[in-house]
Each structure stands twice: as structure tokens, then as C-alpha cells.
Amino acid sequence: MPYPPFFDLVPRLRLRDPLAEFLGAFDGGLVEYGYLDAVKLAGHSCPTVASAYWLTRQALMALYGDAVPERGAVKASFREGRSEGVTGVIANVVSMLTGSTTDSGFKGLAGRFDRRNLMAFDVSQPLDLRFTRVDTGRTVDAEAHLRHVPADHRMAPLMQRCLTGVASPEEAKDFRALWQARVRSVLLDHGDDPAVFVIRPAE
């Protein structure tokens, strides 16, 4: 399954999932996710999927510090409705990484491991996303400003030619390369850029 090599350069996220440990899926419940997992979930690689992966990773790192983040123990809330804009795409990635769901997730076993009601939409909050540790109540707000990572000027006209079916094979190849080059820049050139990725303690 060939894919752009930079996928493997994006730092991974290591979590501990108590449910996975309880049921013997992973020794110690330790599981790792990478950007490729987010791409597989979404079915494509784009700046939105990239920002969803990176915001979640960075927010969990901020919440847990040197400790391994616990999957299934973080609430995630969104300022917009689940059907607005790209909120649903982002929520799918957040859910994969945190285990958080609305009312459709795992119901738990004997009162443990319940993954429901850990995700909410249309919440009044200052930034697009909010992550909260269930055990301590510690909270961070998060948001991505992808406009600060501009696309190559050739990409829009090439995309239009591809969408209308008039692009040559070489033009289609160039479009795909330019598209993924921007995704790469978002993750690897701007991953620590506070103008692009905002992670801050909730007020």
C-alpha cells in the first residue's frame, strides 16, 4: 500500500486503553496511532484530517504531560454542530484517538469502560475544540488556523481541471503532489507554530 513517505515522519501518539488491557487486545493496554491511521479512517489525506490528528495529539500531550494519555477518559466538545463544515470529519478522528463518543459508543462492562456521552456538539466555548480529562477536570482549548499555511498558486486551477475531467495524467499527478505537499507542510513545518495550532488551558 504505497503512500507519501512523510506520513511516517509525523510523530505518533501513544495511549493506554484500559478496555483494551482488560480484554487482552494490547499488553498493558498500550496502543499507538499515527497519521496514517487517521488517513485510513477518513479515506483521504487533507489539511483538515491532518489538523484533527495533530490538534488531538497536542491537546492530549498538554493534558497529561509526561504521563501516557488514557483513551476513553477524555471529553471532547465542539463549538459547531456535527453537520456543520468539516466538524464531522474532525470528530471522527478525535473519536478514534480519544475513544470519546456521543451516545453510540461502547456501553461499558459492569459500570466500567463506558465511552458514551464523552463527545458534545454546539457547545458555547471560545475555540473550536475543547478537551477535558474526566479524572482531574483539567481542560485545554484547541483550534487550527490553516489559512496560515497557503497552498501553491498552481493547486486551485489544477484541482478545477481534475474535477472537470480535462486534466492530463501529468496535471493530475502534479495536483496530487501539490496537495500532499501542503499537508506535509501543515504537519512537519508548522506543527509547533502557535499561529497555526492553538493549544491553551481553558479559561
pLDDT in tens, 79-113: 999 999 999 999 999 999 999 999 888 887 887 88
**pTM of the shown model:** 0.95
**How many other CB atoms sit within 10 Å of the CB of residue 98?**
25
By C-alpha distance, which of 52, 57, 64 is closest to 139? 64
User: At a CB cut-off of 8 Å and minimum separation 6, what does 119 contact?
Assistant: 75, 76, 77, 78, 91, 94, 95, 100, 101, 102
pLDDT in tens, 135-191: 999 999 999 999 999 999 999 999 999 999 999 999 999 999 999 999 999 999 999
| Mean of pLDDT over the chain | 95
pLDDT, residue 33, reads 98
Is the per-residue pLDDT at 115 higher than 90? Answer: no
- The amino acid at residue 189 is D
CA distance 194 to 131: 18
CA distance 44 to 38: 9
Q: Is 133 helix (H, G, I), strand (E, B) or coil?
A: strand
pLDDT in tens, 16-66: 999 999 999 999 999 999 999 999 999 999 999 999 999 999 999 999 999
Q: Locate 199 and state its grid cell.
A: 493549544
